[in-house]
Chains A and B, each alone.
Chain A
Amino acid sequence: MAKKKNGWGRKQRAVVVAGIRTPFVKAFGKFLKLDSIDLSDIAVKSLLERTDLSHDEIDSIVWGGVILPSLAPNIAREIALDLRLPASVEGMTCTRACATGLQAVTLAAAAIERGEADVVIAGGSDSTSNAPLNLPQKAVHALAPLAFGKAATPGDYLGVLAQMMPITDILPKMPKIAERTTGEVMGESAERMAKRNEISREAQDEFAARSHHKAAEAIESGRFDDEVAPVESPEGWVHADNIVRGDTSVEKLSKLRPVFAKDGTVTAGNASALTDGAAAVLLMSEEKAKALGYKPLAAFRSWSYVGVDPTDQLLIGPALAMPKALDRAAMELKDVSLVDMHEAFAAQVLSVTKALASKGFAQVRLGKSKAVGEIDEATFNVHGGSLSIGHPFGATGARMVTTMANELASTGAETALLGICAAGGLGAAAVLEAV
Chain B
Amino acid sequence: MTDLLLENENARRLVKTLGLPIPVPEKLARSRGPYEERPLDEKKVLVCGVGGLQHVLAQVLTKAGAYPLVLGTSDAVLEPFVGPGEAWARAPRRVEPGEAPEGERVDAIVFDGTGLETPDDLHQLYAFISPWIRRLIRSGRVVVLGRPAADAKKPVRAATRAGLEGFTRSLAKEIGGNGSIANSVFVQEGADDRLGPVLRFLLSPRSAYISCQPFHVTKLAKADETPPETHVLGGKVALVTGAARGIGEATAELLAAEGAHVVCLDRPADDGPCSKVAQRIGGSTLLIDITDVDAPQRIAGELKERFGGVDIVVHNAGVTRDKTLARMKPEQWDMAVDINLGAVIRITDRLLSGSVLREGGRVICLSSVSGIAGNRGQTNYSAGKAGIVGFVRALAPKVAKKGITVNAIAPGFIETRLTDAMPVAFREVARRMAAVGQGGKPVDVGQAITFLATPGAAGLTGETVRVCGGALVGA
Task: Indicate if B84 sits at the interface (CB-CB under 8 A).
Answer: yes
> Which 10 pairs of residues, A with B, have the shortest CB-CB distance?
A360-B83, A364-B87, A360-B86, A358-B86, A196-B89, A361-B87, A360-B87, A361-B86, A365-B87, A197-B89
- Flag if A193 contacts B89 (CB, 8 Å): yes
Task: Indicate if B177 sits at the interface (CB-CB under 8 A).
Answer: no
Contacts of B82 in A (CB 8 A): 360
Tell me the minimal C-beta distance from B14 to chain A in angstroms: 36
- Flag if B89 contacts A364 (CB, 8 Å): no
Report the Cα distance A56→B134, complex, angstroms.
Answer: 78
Contacts of A364 in B (CB 8 A): 59, 63, 83-84, 87-88
Tell me the minimal C-beta distance from B192 to chain A in angstroms: 17
Tell me the minimal C-beta distance from A195 to chain B in angstroms: 9
Selected A-B contacts with CB under 8 Å, 7 pairs: A196-B89, A309-B37, A311-B41, A312-B38, A355-B89, A359-B83, A364-B84
Interface of B is mostly: helix
Contacts of A313 in B (CB 8 A): 89
Report the Cα distance A361→B91, complex, angstroms.
Answer: 12
A351-376 contact mask (Cβ, 8 Å, vs B): 1 or 0: 10011001111011100000000000
Report the Cα distance A312→B90, complex, angstroms.
Answer: 11
- Flag if A196 contacts B87 (CB, 8 Å): no
Question: Given A312-B65, A364-B59, are A358 and B87 neighbors across the interface (CB < 8 Å)?
Answer: yes
Task: Indicate if B85 sits at the interface (CB-CB under 8 A).
Answer: yes
Q: Kindly identify, within residues 393 to 427 of chain A, every residue whose CB is under 8 Å from any CB belonging to chain B.
A: none
Tell me the minimal C-beta distance from B57 to chain A in angstroms: 14
- Flag if A196 contacts B59 (CB, 8 Å): no
Contacts of A196 in B (CB 8 A): 89-91
B29-69 contact mask (Cβ, 8 Å, vs A): 1 or 0: 00000000110010000000000000000010001010000
Task: Indicate if A169 sits at the interface (CB-CB under 8 A).
Answer: no
Report the Cα distance A316→B70, complex, angstroms.
Answer: 26
Report the Cα distance A312→B229, complex, angstroms.
Answer: 15
Contacts of B38 in A (CB 8 A): 309, 311-312
Task: Indicate if A198 sits at the interface (CB-CB under 8 A).
Answer: yes
- Flag if B87 contacts A363 (CB, 8 Å): yes
Contacts of A198 in B (CB 8 A): 91
Instruction: Name B85's contact: one of A193, A309, A316, A360 (CB within 8 Å).
Output: A360
Tell me the minimal C-beta distance from A226 to chain B in angstroms: 40
- Flag if B65 contacts A360 (CB, 8 Å): no
Contacts of B83 in A (CB 8 A): 358-361, 363-364
Tell me the minimal C-beta distance from A265 to chain B in angstroms: 15
Number of A-B contacts (CB under 8 A): 45
Report the Cα distance A360→B86, complex, angstroms.
Answer: 6
Report the Cα distance A198→B85, complex, angstroms.
Answer: 12
Tell me the minimal C-beta distance from B312 to chain A in angstroms: 27
- The winner among A197, A309, A364 for most chain B CB atoms within 10 A is A364
- Which positions in A face B, CB cutoff 8 Å? 193, 196-198, 309, 311-313, 316, 351, 354-355, 358-361, 363-365
Report the Cα distance A196→B90, complex, angstroms.
Answer: 6
Contacts of A355 in B (CB 8 A): 86-87, 89
Contacts of B90 in A (CB 8 A): 196
Contacts of B87 in A (CB 8 A): 355, 358, 360-361, 363-365
Tell me the minimal C-beta distance from A168 to chain B in angstroms: 29
- The winner among A316, A359, A361 for most chain B CB atoms within 10 A is A361
Report the Cα distance A355→B85, complex, angstroms.
Answer: 11
- Flag if B89 contacts A360 (CB, 8 Å): no
Tell me the minimal C-beta distance from B67 to chain A in angstroms: 9
Contacts of B88 in A (CB 8 A): 312, 364
Contacts of B41 in A (CB 8 A): 311-312
Tell me the minimal C-beta distance from A192 to chain B in angstroms: 9
Contacts of B37 in A (CB 8 A): 309, 312
Task: Please give me the residue from chain A that is nearest to B85 by CB atom.
Answer: A360
- Flag if A360 contacts B91 (CB, 8 Å): no
Tell me the minimal C-beta distance from A306 to chain B in angstroms: 15
Tell me the minimal C-beta distance from A379 to chain B in angstroms: 23
Task: Please give me the residue from chain B that is nearest to A366 by CB atom.
Answer: B87
Task: Please give me the residue from chain B that is nearest to A316 by CB atom.
Answer: B89
Contacts of B63 in A (CB 8 A): 364
Report the Cα distance A423→B134, complex, angstroms.
Answer: 41
- Flag if A351 contacts B84 (CB, 8 Å): no
Tell me the minimal C-beta distance from B356 to chain A in angstroms: 37
Task: Please give me the residue from chain A that is nearest to B230 by CB atom.
Answer: A309
Report the Cα distance A361→B84, complex, angstroms.
Answer: 7
Tell me the minimal C-beta distance from A49 to chain B in angstroms: 47
Task: Please give me the residue from chain A that is nearest to B88 by CB atom.
Answer: A364
Task: Please give me the residue from chain A that is nearest to B59 by CB atom.
Answer: A364
B164-208 contact mask (Cβ, 8 Å, vs A): 1 or 0: 000000000000000000000000000000000000000000000
Task: Please give me the residue from chain A that is nearest to B89 by CB atom.
Answer: A196
Report the Cα distance A297→B148, complex, angstroms.
Answer: 67
- The winner among B37, B82, B84, B88 for most chain A CB atoms within 10 A is B88
- The winner among B63, B65, B83 for most chain A CB atoms within 10 A is B83
Report the Cα distance A361→B82, complex, angstroms.
Answer: 10
Given contacts A312-B41, A355-B89, A360-B84, 5 further A-B contacts (CB under 8 A): A196-B90, A309-B38, A311-B38, A358-B86, A360-B87
Tell me the minimal C-beta distance from A189 to chain B in angstroms: 12
Report the Cα distance A198→B92, complex, angstroms.
Answer: 11
Report the Cα distance A360→B84, complex, angstroms.
Answer: 5
Contacts of B65 in A (CB 8 A): 312
Tell me the minimal C-beta distance from A194 to chain B in angstroms: 10
Report the Cα distance A359→B84, complex, angstroms.
Answer: 9
Report the Cα distance A361→B88, complex, angstroms.
Answer: 7
Tell me the minimal C-beta distance from B469 to chain A in angstroms: 31
Task: Please give me the residue from chain A that is nearest to B87 by CB atom.
Answer: A364
Report the Cα distance A354→B82, complex, angstroms.
Answer: 13
Q: Kindly identify, within residues 82 to 126 of chain B, every residue whose CB is under 8 Å from any CB belonging to chain A.
A: 82-91
Task: Please give me the residue from chain B that is nearest to A363 by CB atom.
Answer: B83
Task: Please give me the residue from chain A that is nearest to B83 by CB atom.
Answer: A360
Contacts of B89 in A (CB 8 A): 193, 196-197, 313, 316, 351, 355
